[in-house]
């Protein structure tokens, strides 16, 4: 009996830690990139993320504009069909490639204190601050 109670408590605690992704938290929001772990962000340009109705994405990836679609399924979020313009900007090229690569690796997200954390498992890929 003690084992059943222990297992029940363990399952309850484990399920409480698994935060549900609510698409409504993300729609019609605008964000500015503040962290791309492992990389110093360019001072002369910004990366932005705009999330519209139906989780349509758009923004600026330092030099180029981009778009795509976010999908929420089985408590995971993914970014699909990312496209961008193809201008070459030497001073932001490395940051732009790293940003778009990270965006394509997203499988989870959380919003805390006006910050959006895009994750792959437990690893933080991108951190944004809300601008609207």
All structural domains of the chain, each given as residue ranges with its CATH number in brackets, are 21-130 (2.40.128.270)
If you average pLDDT over every residue of the chain, what do you get? 85
pLDDT digits (tens, 9 = 90+) for 9-43: 333 333 334 557 788 888 899 999 999 999 999 99
Q: Residue 19: what pLDDT?
A: 59
DSSP one-letter string for 45-104:
--BEEEE-GGGEEEEEETTEEEEEEEEEETTEEEEEEEEE-----GGGHHHHHHHHHHHH
pLDDT digits (tens, 9 = 90+) for 88-106: 999 999 999 999 999 999 9
Q: Residue 90: what pLDDT?
A: 93
Q: Residue 8: what pLDDT?
A: 35
């Amino acid at each position: 009996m003690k084992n059943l109670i222990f297992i029940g408590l363990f399952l309850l605690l484990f399920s409480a830690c698994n935060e549900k992704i609510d698409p409504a938290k993300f729609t019609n929001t605008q964000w500015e990139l503040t962290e791309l772990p492992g990389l110093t962000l360019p001072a002369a340009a910004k990366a932005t993320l705009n999330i519209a109705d139906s989780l349509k994405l758009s923004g600026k990836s330092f030099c180029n504009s981009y778009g795509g679609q976010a999908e929420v399924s089985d408590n995971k979020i993914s970014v699909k069909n990312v496209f961008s313009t193809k201008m070459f900007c030497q001073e932001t090229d490395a940051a732009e490639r790293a940003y778009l690569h990270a965006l394509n690796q997203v499988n989870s997200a959380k919003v805390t204190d006006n910050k959006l954390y895009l994750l792959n498992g437990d690893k933080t890929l991108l951190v944004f601050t809300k601008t609207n």
